[in-house]
Structure formats: structure tokens, C-alpha cells
């Protein structure tokens, strides 16, 4: 991915648009298009205001290419927002694979947070996040009190989650893995599950739904919510998720390319922050995973858990 970082000097401070055009040596309309595309970050925060003031010493990051294509090319249409539940306090959506949960430096275009903001016409309360390639249930608070209450349920483990994954075949029928997680010093962006390092506690239960010669279908129940927890835990068990190339997952499954890390946040059980009643949110399997479940003759679990 091609991007450019620039630290603003004292003699360059001023409005974003002319500064950007000068630093990149591009026309004003091209600089304006970069800002509108969501490709410009000031101090790590996406900035879509071409008139915003930039101060001396601040860092500009500009994404120039993504997936080998200039971000000045016409952007692909934003995916439709798939609503699972909405009331006065809670909004739940089915996040598609490939969409970031929120704007991140180094990526252009809309995130799930941007789509929800456009739907509500105001800032939503981001409660939790899924990895870019992970699909499934994501919940937002629509009021500050609902956001606080929902976040507390995730923080203290009261929010219960069921994920479905297609992983390597070397997996027992059921079990629990409680290996601590820590950053892998030899592979940036990856976590390792091991007791040999000073990691954070992490615990996952699993139930194997089906076993095939080259893969297994599995339901995962994380009891903690660590970054890359399920990906690292399955790798430690010798059964990395298919398509998860960062963790060594197979690139093909059931005779076709995996295409992405085949992990889906299928169900979320929590307590409604206003009414105190149970709330079960479920997202249907995406097509890439449904194909494998159908080929194996397996029906994905549904309902309470």
C-alpha cells in the first residue's frame, strides 16, 4: 500500500487543502478529492474538512494507493448497511467482510462507523470492533448511557458471543484453550498464544461441528475479548482459520479459494441497556462460508446459547 507521511513545518502551517497540494505537488482538485475520499489523516485522525487548520509539528498521512489502485480512481460504492436490530438505544448491524470497523490510518474510503454515522445522522457509540476480514454482528449505542452500559457488558464478560469458523482439520471435538496472548516480536501485526511469554489472560471454548479431510467447521465461544484471540488460539491448537494467511491458514477450502479469514461473529447475547431484558442478535452466514457448510451438509447453529 502506497502512502506518504509528512511532518508539518512552522512555515507550512495553515489550511489543509493548499498545504496538501503543496506537499504532494498535486492540483487543488486532486488534493480535494483525496480529502473527500477519506485518504487524509491529521495526527492519526481522518480529516474530511479541506478548510481544517493544520499546525506546525503535526503529522499528515495520505493514502495514495490501495490494493494497487490510486485512491483518486472512482471509489467503489459503499456496501448497504445490513440492519439486524434498531430501537431507541441500540443499533445492531451485520458487518461485511473487508470493511474496517472504524477509520484507520493507511486506509481510504468508508468504514462501518462511517456508514452507521450516515444512517443515524449523528455520531454513534462504538462499543466493540471486529477485524477487517471478520464478518458478523456489531452493536452500537445510540445514546451515551446506552453506549456506556453496553461497553460495560463487553468489558466484564457479560456479553456472550458465538463465532463460526472454518479452520484446519486438526481439532478435537470440543474443549477450552486458555493460553495467554502477547504480540509476536518476530511477526509484526500478529499475536502468539503461549505461556512462555508475559501475555494477557485469554480463554476460548470451542465445539467442532463437522470434520472433513482438509478442514473443520467450528463454533467458538470467547470468554475474553482480546485482539486476534480466536485466530491465535486456533493457530496454537494446530488448526488455523482457513484464509487467514497471517496465521498460516490454508488458502483453499473445499476446492475453492478461501478469499479471506473465514471467521463470522454469528450471535451476540446481551442485556438491553434500557429495559434490562435479554437481547439476542444473530447474523446469517455470509455466502463464502455458507457454501462450505452446504457442501458438508451442516446447518449452522441458531438461537440462544
Chain-centroid distance of CA 77 in Å reads: 19
- Name the active-site residue from 131, 184, 244, 288: 131
pTM: 0.81
Q: Is 150 helix (H, G, I), strand (E, B) or coil?
A: helix
- Could you tell me the pLDDT band of residue 79, with boundaries at 50, 70 and 90? confident
Distance in angstroms (rounded) separating the CA atoms of residues 205 and 219: 9
**pLDDT score of 224 more than 90:** yes
Angle subtended at Cα 192 by Cα 222 and Cα 112, rounded to the nearest 5 degrees: 55
Return the C-alpha cell found at 28: 487543488
Cell (9 digits) for 175: 474443549
Query: Over the stretch 114-149, which tens digit does the pLDDT of each residue have?
Result: 999 999 999 999 999 999 999 999 999 999 999 999
- What does the pLDDT look like over 235-288, one tens digit per residue? 999 999 999 999 999 999 999 999 999 999 999 999 999 999 999 999 999 999
Domain boundaries along the sequence of the chain = 3-70
Our answer to whether residue 29 is catalytic in this structure is no
pLDDT for 3-45, tens place per residue? 677 777 767 888 999 998 888 888 888 888 888 888 888 988 8
With cut-offs at 50, 70 and 90, classify the pLDDT of residue 65. Answer: confident
Residue 188: what pLDDT? Answer: 87
Structure confidence at residue 85 (pLDDT): 98
Longest Cα separation, the chain: 66
How many Å separate Cα 105 from the centre of its chain?
Answer: 14
Task: Find the mean pLDDT for residues 218-233.
Answer: 97
> CATH second-level architecture of 3-70?
Roll (3.10)
Structure confidence at residue 132 (pLDDT): 93
Torsion angle of C-alpha atoms 107, 80, 102, 225, degrees rounded to 10: -120
- Using only the alpha carbons of the chain, give its radius of gyration: 21
Amino acid at each position: 500500500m502506497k502512502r506518504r507521511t509528512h511532518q508539518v513545518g512552522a512555515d507550512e502551517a495553515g489550511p489543509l487543502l493548499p498545504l496538501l497540494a503543496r506537499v504532494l505537488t498535486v492540483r487543488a482538485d486532486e488534493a480535494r478529492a483525496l480529502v473527500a475520499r477519506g485518504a487524509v489523516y491529521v495526527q492519526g485522525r481522518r480529516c474530511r474538512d479541506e478548510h481544517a487548520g493544520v499546525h506546525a509539528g503535526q503529522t499528515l498521512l495520505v493514502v495514495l494507493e490501495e490494493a494497487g489502485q490510486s485512491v483518486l480512481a472512482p471509489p467503489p460504492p459503499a456496501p448497504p448497511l445490513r440492519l439486524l436490530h434498531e430501537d431507541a438505544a441500540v443499533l445492531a448491524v451485520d458487518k461485511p467482510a473487508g470493511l474496517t470497523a472504524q477509520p484507520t490510518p493507511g486506509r481510504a474510503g468508508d468504514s462501518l462507523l462511517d456508514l452507521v454515522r450516515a444512517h443515524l445522522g449523528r455520531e454513534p457509540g462504538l462499543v466493540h470492533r471486529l477485524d477487517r476480514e471478520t464478518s458478523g454482528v456489531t452493536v452500537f449505542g445510540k445514546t451515551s448511557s446506552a453506549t456506556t452500559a453496553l461497553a460495560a457488558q463487553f468489558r466484564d464478560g457479560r456479553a456472550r458471543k458465538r463465532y463460526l469458523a472454518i479452520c484446519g482439520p486438526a481439532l478435537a471435538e470440543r474443549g477450552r484453550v486458555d493460553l495467554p496472548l502477547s504480540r509476536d516480536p518476530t511477526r509484526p501485526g500478529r499475536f502468539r498464544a503461549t505461556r512462555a511469554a508475559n501475555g494477557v489472560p485469554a480463554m476460548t471454548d470451542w465445539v467442532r461441528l463437522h470434520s472433513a479431510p482438509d478442514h473443520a467447521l467450528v463454533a467458538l465461544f470467547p470468554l475474553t475479548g482480546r485482539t486476534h484471540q480466536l485466530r491465535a488460539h486456533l493457530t496454537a491448537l494446530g488448526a488455523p482459520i482457513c484464509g487467514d494467511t497471517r496465521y498460516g491458514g490454508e488458502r483453499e477450502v473445499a476446492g475453492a479459494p478461501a478469499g479471506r479469514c473465514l471467521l463470522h461473529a454469528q450471535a451476540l447475547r446481551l442485556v438491553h441497556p434500557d429495559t434490562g431484558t435479554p437481547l439476542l442478535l444473530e447474523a446469517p452466514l455470509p455466502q463464502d462460508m455458507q457454501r462450505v457448510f452446504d457442501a458438508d451438509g451442516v446447518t449452522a447453529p441458531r438461537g440462544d446459547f
